C-alpha cells in the first residue's frame, strides 16, 4: 500500500494529543529564540528560525484541522474543529509575545527576501498589539481568544447543519429523476431534501412549483439562524473593540491596512462604483425573466428571488436550446478531471498521477501526486468531492503541509480540495454542470497557487499572500471554462469518453454563458457590501436588518420575512471578514491575466510557464502588484472587468 503524505486515520483523543504536543514543541522552541543573548542573535537564528518553527507547527496542526471538515467520525471531527480554535488562539498568543517581538524587530535583513519576511512578520506582530501598553496588549490577546471560539463554533454549526424539508412528488415536479433518486424517501412516499448544494441547486433550478422553491430559499438562507446569529453579533462587537484598542476606527480599517486595496475608503469607492451599472444590468435581466414568467403566469408582476435560477434555466432552454441535463452527460467528473490535469500539464510543465491504495479518511477521497519533468513528486492533492453528513458543505481548498526550504531541501506541499458535487448514480457516474466545472477550475486554481510554490519561507509560501490577491489565480483559471476548445478537450459522453461534445451543443453552451451575469455579480456585490457594513457600522446592529436593507439597495426588494442569511454566510467567520470584497477586487487582476492568454492562446505553454513563474510560484515574496506588473508588463485596470460584465466603465483601482 502506498504511504499517505499525512496521517488520515485517528483514534479518539489522538488529534487532541497531537495538537497539544505540537503547541508544546513550538512554544519551547520560540522561547529559546527569545532567550538568545543579544550578542549571539543573528537573522538566521531568530527570524529564519521563527519562520521554521511556525511552519513546523502549522505542518503538524493543519492536517488535524482539515479532519474537522472531513472526518467521517463525528467525535473525531469535533476534535479537529477544536484544533482550528486552538490554532487561532496559539497564533494570537505567539504574535502577542513581547519578548519575541523585541528580539525579531532588532534584526537586520541581508537581502530582499529576508526584508520581505521581516516586514510581513513585524507587521503581523504590530497588528496584534505590540505597539500597545502591556494592559492593552493583554486586552487584545484575550479578546482575540474569545473571537476564535466564536468563529469556530459558527463554522462547526454550519458543518453539522442537518436542515431538511419534506416534499411530495408533485411539489418536486420538474426536478430531474437523477436528482430525485438521491433524496431519501419516507414510508409515506414523500421525499426528504437536504440543504446540501446538489439538493438545493436541483430544486431551485428545476422545480416548477414556486412555493417549493420559496420554502427551499428561506430554509437555505436561514440555516443555523438561532445559534449563529448571536455568535456573529458577538464577533462583530469583539472585532470592533479589538480595532479600537489597536487604534483603528473600524475592524475593516484594521484588516485592510497592508492589503492591496490599502484603505476602507478605496474598497468602498470600488464597490459603490459597481452599484449603478450592475443595477441596470440586473434590471434588464429581470425584465427578460419576467417575460418568461408571464408566459405561464400572466398575472405575474415581478421576479422573486427564488424564481431567478428556475427562470434563468428556462431562458437558456428557450433562447439557446440549452438543457443542463443534456450538457451534464458530456462532463463526467473523471473525464473533466483528466482533461483539467492535461491542460495544467500543458500550461505549467508538470504531471499529475493518481496514487492508488494510499490510505485516505474516506473511501470517496482520491490522492493525486504532482510531479516535475524529472518524475519527482513535488506536491500532493487530496480530492474529497461528494457530500456526506458532518462534512464541510460548500467548496474550498484547504492546506495541510507548506512548501518551503527545510534542511537544505524543498518540502513537498500537501493540500485538499473539499467539494460537494452530485454523487454517482446507480447507472451513471458523477456528472457536472458547467457551473460546477467552473467551481472545480476555481478550486484547482487555489491548488496550483499552493502546490507550485517555490518561496523559501513557509509563512510566505503558497497562497499566504495579501488577502485581496488570494483569489487572483483561482479566478484566473476558472475563466478557461469559457473557452470552447478547452471545454471540448475536457468533455466525453459518460457512455463513451471518446465522444466529445457536439459543436452545436458546445456553441449553445458558450452563447448561454452570459445568462445571469448581472445577478451573479450583483450577489457578489451584495455580500461584499454586507461584509463591509457589518465591519464599519455602528454597534450594536441587527445583522438581518442590515442584510435586508442591502438586498433592497441592490435588488430593489427586501428578502422574505424570516430570512437570516448572515447566520449561514460562512465567509464572515471563516477568514474573509472585511475581506469578501477580495473576490471582486481580485477578479480585476484575474481578467487582465486572462486577456493576455486570449491574445496568445489559452494553452500557450510559454505564457503558462510565465504565469507559473511570475505569479503562482512566488507566494508572498513580493507584493501582489509587483507580481502582476512583472507578468503583464503594465498596471492592471478595471477595463477588463467592465468589458466582461458588458457595463459602462467605472473607476480604476490600484
**How many other C-beta atoms are found inside a 10 Å radius of the C-beta of residue 364?**
17
Report how far residue 362's alpha carbon sits from residue 72's, in angstroms, rounded to the nearest whole number: 7
Do 105 and 188 sit in the same domain of this protein? no
Give the model's pLDDT for residue 654. 45
List 380's β-bridge partners, or say none. Answer: 369, 414
Q: What are the contacts of 103-111 at 24+ separation with CB within 8 A?
A: 103/33, 103/34, 103/36, 103/41, 103/46, 104/46, 104/47, 104/50, 106/38, 106/41, 107/41, 107/42, 107/43, 107/46, 107/47, 108/43, 109/43, 109/47, 110/43
Number of domains composing the chain = 2
Q: What are the start-end ranges of the H helices in 370-422? A: none
Alpha-carbon dihedral angle through residues 37, 93, 583, 531, given to the nearest 10 degrees: -140
Q: Which of 84, 443, 466, 471 is catalytic?
A: 443
Ranges of beta strands (E only) in 479-521 are none
| Shared-domain flag, residues 100 and 166 | no
- Indicate whether 314 belongs to any domain: no
Same domain, residue pair 200 and 93: no
Whether 121 and 170 map to the same domain: the answer is no
In a domain, residue 445? The reply is no
Residues 21, 112, single domain; the answer is yes
> Grid coordinates representing 404?
518551503
How many residues belong to the chain? 654
Q: What is the mean pLDDT of each run of 10 residues along the chain (654 residues)?
A: 89 97 98 96 97 98 97 95 93 96 96 97 95 95 94 91 95 93 93 92 96 96 96 97 96 95 96 93 95 94 94 94 93 98 98 95 97 96 94 92 96 97 90 96 98 98 96 97 96 96 95 92 97 96 96 92 93 94 96 96 97 98 96 92 78 45
Shared domain for 72 and 171, answered yes or no, is: no
Beta-carbon contacts of 292 under 8 Å, excluding residues fewer than 6 positions away, are 311, 314, 315, 318
Distance between CA atoms of residues 345 and 333, nearest Å? 18
pLDDT at 652: 44
* Same domain flag for 34 and 94: yes
Determine, yes or no, domain membership for 518. Answer: no
Residue 123 and residue 198 in one domain: no
For cell 481580485, the residue is 586
Position 174 in a domain: yes
Kindly state whether residues 167 and 212 are assigned to the same domain. Answer: yes
What pLDDT score was predicted for residue 425?
85
The predicted structure's pLDDT at residue 126 = 95
Cell numbers linked to 403: 512548501
Of the three residues 129, 146, 172, the one that is the final residue of a domain is 129
Longest dimension (CA), the chain: 85
CA distance 615 to 632: 10
Q: Which residues of 281-315 are buried (b: 16+ CB within 10 A; e: fewer)?
A: bbeebbeebbebbeeeeeebeebbbbbbbbbbbbb
Q: Is residue 41 part of a domain?
A: yes
117 and 177 belong to one structural domain: no
Q: Which three cell numbers stand for residue 623?
A: 507584493
- If DSSP codes are grouped into helix, strand and coil, which group holds residue 354? strand
Q: What is the pLDDT of residue 647?
A: 80
The domain containing residue 173 runs over which residues?
Answer: 162-222
- Active-site residue 443, yes or no? yes
Please say which residue of 205, 222, 239 terminates a domain: 222
pTM of the predicted model as reported, rounded to 2 decimal places = 0.93
Q: Judge if 109 and 24 occupy the same domain.
A: yes
Which of 614, 620, 458, 468 lies closest to 119 in space, CA to CA?
Answer: 620
In a domain? residue 66:
yes
Q: Looking at the domain assignment, is residue 324 inside a domain?
A: no
Take residue 151 and report the three cell numbers written for it. 468563529
Among candidate residues 409, 411, 415, 487, the one with its CA nearest the CA of residue 449: 415
Give dist(CA 384, CA 423) in Å, integer. Answer: 11
pLDDT of residue 653: 46
Q: Are residues 167 and 122 in the same domain?
A: no
Q: Which three cell numbers stand for residue 641?
A: 472587468
Q: Residue 1 has what pLDDT?
A: 62
Strand partners, 368: 354, 381
Q: What is the CATH number of the domain that holds 77?
A: 1.20.1050.40
77: in domain: yes
Is beta strand 164-167 parallel, antiparallel or unpaired with respect to 191-194? Answer: antiparallel
Please say whether the beta carbons of 202 and 310 come within 8 A: no
Residue where a domain stops, chosen among 176, 206, 222: 222
Amino acid at each position: 500500500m502506498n504511504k499517505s503524505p499525512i496521517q488520515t486515520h485517528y483514534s479518539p483523543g489522538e488529534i487532541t494529543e497531537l495538537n497539544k504536543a505540537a503547541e508544546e514543541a513550538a512554544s519551547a522552541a520560540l522561547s529559546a529564540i527569545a532567550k538568545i543573548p543579544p550578542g549571539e542573535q543573528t537573522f538566521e537564528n531568530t527570524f529564519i528560525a521563527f519562520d521554521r518553527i511556525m511552519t513546523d507547527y502549522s505542518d503538524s496542526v493543519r492536517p488535524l484541522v482539515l479532519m474537522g471538515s472531513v472526518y467521517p467520525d463525528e467525535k473525531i471531527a469535533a476534535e479537529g474543529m477544536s484544533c482550528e480554535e486552538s490554532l487561532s488562539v496559539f497564533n494570537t498568543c505567539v504574535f502577542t509575545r513581547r519578548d519575541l517581538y523585541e528580539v525579531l524587530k532588532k534584526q537586520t535583513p541581508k537581502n530582499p527576501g529576508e526584508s520581505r519576511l521581516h516586514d510581513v512578520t513585524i507587521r503581523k506582530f504590530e497588528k496584534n498589539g505590540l505597539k500597545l501598553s502591556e494592559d492593552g496588549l493583554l486586552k487584545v490577546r484575550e479578546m482575540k481568544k474569545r473571537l476564535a471560539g466564536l468563529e469556530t463554533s459558527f463554522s462547526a454549526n454550519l458543518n453539522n447543519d442537518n436542515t431538511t424539508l419534506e416534499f411530495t412528488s408533485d411539489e418536486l415536479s420538474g426536478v430531474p429523476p437523477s436528482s430525485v433518486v438521491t433524496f431519501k424517501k419516507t414510508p409515506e412516499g414523500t421525499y426528504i431534501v437536504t440543504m446540501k448544494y446538489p439538493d438545493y441547486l436541483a430544486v431551485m433550478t428545476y422545480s416548477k412549483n414556486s412555493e417549493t422553491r420559496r420554502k427551499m430559499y428561506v430554509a437555505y438562507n436561514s440555516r443555523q439562524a438561532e445559534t449563529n446569529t448571536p455568535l456573529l453579533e458577538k464577533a462583530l462587537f469583539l472585532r470592533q473593540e479589538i480595532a479600537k484598542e489597536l487604534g483603528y476606527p473600524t475592524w475593516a480599517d484594521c484588516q485592510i491596512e497592508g492589503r492591496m486595496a490599502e484603505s476602507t475608503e478605496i474598497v468602498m469607492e470600488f464597490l459603490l462604483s459597481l452599484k449603478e451599472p450592475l443595477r441596470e444590468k440586473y434590471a434588464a435581466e429581470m425584465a427578460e425573466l419576467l417575460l418568461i414568467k408571464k408566459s405561464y403566469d400572466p398575472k405575474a408582476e415581478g421576479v422573486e428571488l427564488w424564481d431567478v435560477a428556475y427562470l434563468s434555466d428556462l431562458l437558456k432552454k428557450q433562447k439557446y436550446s440549452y438543457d443542463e441535463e443534456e450538457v451534464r452527460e458530456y462532463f463526467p467528473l473523471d473525464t473533466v478531471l483528466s482533461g483539467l490535469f492535461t491542460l495544467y500539464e500543458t500550461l505549467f510543465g508538470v504531471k499529475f498521477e493518481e496514487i492508488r491504495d494510499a490510505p485516505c479518511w474516506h473511501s470517496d477521497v482520491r490522492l493525486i501526486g504532482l510531479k516535475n519533468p524529472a518524475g519527482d513528486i513535488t506536491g500532493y492533492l487530496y480530492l474529497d468531492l461528494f457530500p456526506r453528513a458532518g462534512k464541510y458543505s460548500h467548496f474550498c481548498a484547504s492546506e495541510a503541509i507548506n512548501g518551503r526550504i527545510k534542511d537544505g531541501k524543498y518540502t513537498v506541499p500537501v493540500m485538499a480540495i473539499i467539494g460537494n458535487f452530485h454523487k454517482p448514480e446507480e447507472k451513471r457516474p458523477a456528472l457536472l454542470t458547467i457551473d460546477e466545472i467552473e467551481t472545480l477550475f476555481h478550486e484547482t486554481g487555489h491548488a496550483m497557487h499552493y502546490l507550485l510554490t517555490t518561496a523559501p519561507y513557509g509563512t510566505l509560501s503558497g497562497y499566504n499572500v495579501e488577502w485581496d490577491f488570494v483569489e487572483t489565480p483561482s479566478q484566473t483559471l476558472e475563466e478557461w471554462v469559457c473557452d470552447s476548445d478547452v471545454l471540448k478537450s475536457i468533455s466525453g459522453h459518460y457512455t463513451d469518453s471518446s465522444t466529445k461534445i457536439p459543436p452545436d451543443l458546445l456553441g449553445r453552451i458558450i452563447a448561454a454563458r452570459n445568462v445571469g451575469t448581472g445577478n451573479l455579480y450583483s450577489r457578489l456585490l451584495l455580500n461584499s457590501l454586507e461584509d463591509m457594513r457589518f465591519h464599519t457600522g455602528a454597534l450594536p446592529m441587527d445583522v438581518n436588518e442590515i442584510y435586508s436593507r442591502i438586498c433592497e439597495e441592490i435588488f430593489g426588494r427586501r428578502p422574505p420575512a424570516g430570512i437570516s442569511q448572515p447566520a449561514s454566510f460562512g465567509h464572515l467567520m471563516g477568514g474573509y471578514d472585511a475581506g469578501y470584497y477580495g473576490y471582486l477586487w481580485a477578479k480585476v487582476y484575474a481578467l487582465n491575466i486572462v486577456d493576455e492568454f486570449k491574445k496568445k492562446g489559452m494553452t500557450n505553454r510559454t505564457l503558462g510557464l510565465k504565469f507559473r513563474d511570475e505569479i503562482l510560484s512566488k507566494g508572498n515574496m513580493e507584493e501582489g502588484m509587483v507580481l502582476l506588473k512583472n507578468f503583464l508588463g503594465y498596471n492592471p485596470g478595471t477595463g477588463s472587468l467592465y468589458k466582461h460584465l458588458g457595463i459602462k466603465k467605472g473607476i480604476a483601482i490600484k
